[in-house]
Structure 1
Amino acid sequence: MVTITVPEGYGQIIAISLGVIPVLGFIHGVVVGSLRKAAGVPYPHTYATVEQCKSNPKAHQFNCAQRAHSNFLENAPQTVLSILVAGLKYPQLATALGGAWVLFRVLFLHGYVYTDKPQGKGRYNGGLFWFAQAALWGLSAFGVAKDLW
């Protein structure tokens, strides 16, 4: 039998990983959906073509929103898991890193979609999410390894 004891303040871990992060995913979807019609990209197509982007700036903006959303979906699951695991040993640090990850992901989305930087380079505004994510991975691994040794 395995017993898991959650530390005081673990509710904040749950709030970020199972509350705020899914809401941010929903916001990503809303942004993509709101740009689809103006971009002229019908379902089931995921992205506008190069030709569409050349003739319609909204198509390029749609592609940036779609890519920001895809990047979010590629990174959110392991980040949620890392926050939940790291929070068992380091609840305050995991909460802070999870909050930083969310903030940087918001900046990533905004920079990618709503700045005029070419080739989506506005996403670099939130690129620090990688550091928060790596720290969460490290804390998770360290916390688990510490119990195994």
Structure 2
Amino acid sequence: MVPITVPDNYWLPLAVGLGAMPLLATVHGTIVGRLRKPAKVPYPHCYATPEQCKNNPKAEQFNCAQRAHANYLENFPQTMLYTLVAGLRWPVASAVLGGAWVICRILFLQGYVYSGIPEGKGRYRGGLFWLLQGGLWAMAAFGVGLSLTNS
């Protein structure tokens, strides 16, 4: 059994990983929910059709919000885990990278849904999240993961 020591300032990655990241998921869901009615996309349909988007700009905006939300949910769980695991060795660095990831995801959401840039290309404003996510993965896998296997 390998002992795991939790650093004193581990509250920082906890605040990011278990606070800010899930909160942003809720914000995503709320935005999608608010845009559904003006987009005229009834449940259980996830997206507006291309015809609906041509006739209703809110339908296109809904699709962008829905896609931003789905992309967030595709990346959020592992990034939360990377932040928490990396925080065992580097709590401040993992919280900073995790916090920057959240900011980039907000820029991604804002650019995708509210920028008005066609084809959702406003999402590129937050594209740096990929590098931050990769950094957190490397910190967790190589910084913490390898040290546990070498003990």
- Using the size of structure 1 for normalisation, the TM-score is 0.97
Instruction: Name the counterpart of 1:91.
Output: 91
Q: State how far apart, in whole Å, the 2-side matches of 1:26 and 1:40 are.
A: 22
Deviation sequence 1:9-49 (CA, Å, 0-9, x none): 10011111011111000000000000000000000000000
CA positional deviation for 1:146: 3.0
Q: Which deviates more from structure 2 when the two are superposed, residues 94-103 or residues 139-148?
A: 139-148
Stretches of structure 2 that go unaligned for 5 or more consecutive residues are none
- How many residue pairs get aligned? The number is 149
Cα separation, 1, equivalents of 2:18 and 2:50: 37
- Structure 1 match to 2:149: 148
CA distance in 2, matches of 1:2, 1:142: 16
Matches of 2:116 and 2:16 in 1, distance apart?
30
CA RMSD of aligned residues (A): 0.9
Would you say 1:64 and 2:64 are equivalent positions? yes
Matches within 5 A, 1:19-98: 19-98=19-98
Q: Which residue of 1 aligns with 2:10?
A: 10
Q: Give 1:3 shift.
A: 2.4
Structure 1 residue ranges, 4+ long, deviating more than 6 angstroms after superposition: none
> 3-state SS of the aligned residue for 2:73?
helix
CA drift of 1:95 comes to 0.7
Contact 2:115 2:122 (C-alpha < 8 Å) held by counterparts: yes
In 2, the alpha carbon distance for the partners of 1:147 and 1:40 equals 52
Give the C-alpha shift of residue 90 in structure 1. Answer: 1.0
Amino acid at match of 1:124: Y
Following TM superposition, by how much is the alpha carbon of 1:51 offset from its aligned partner in structure 2, in angstroms?
A: 0.2
Distance 2:28 2:48 in 1: 17
Q: Provide the rounded CA distance (Å) in 1 between the counterparts of 2:148 and 2:22.
A: 30
Counterpart secondary structure, 2:138: helix
What is the alpha-carbon distance in structure 2 between the residues aligned to residue 88 and residue 99 of structure 1? 16
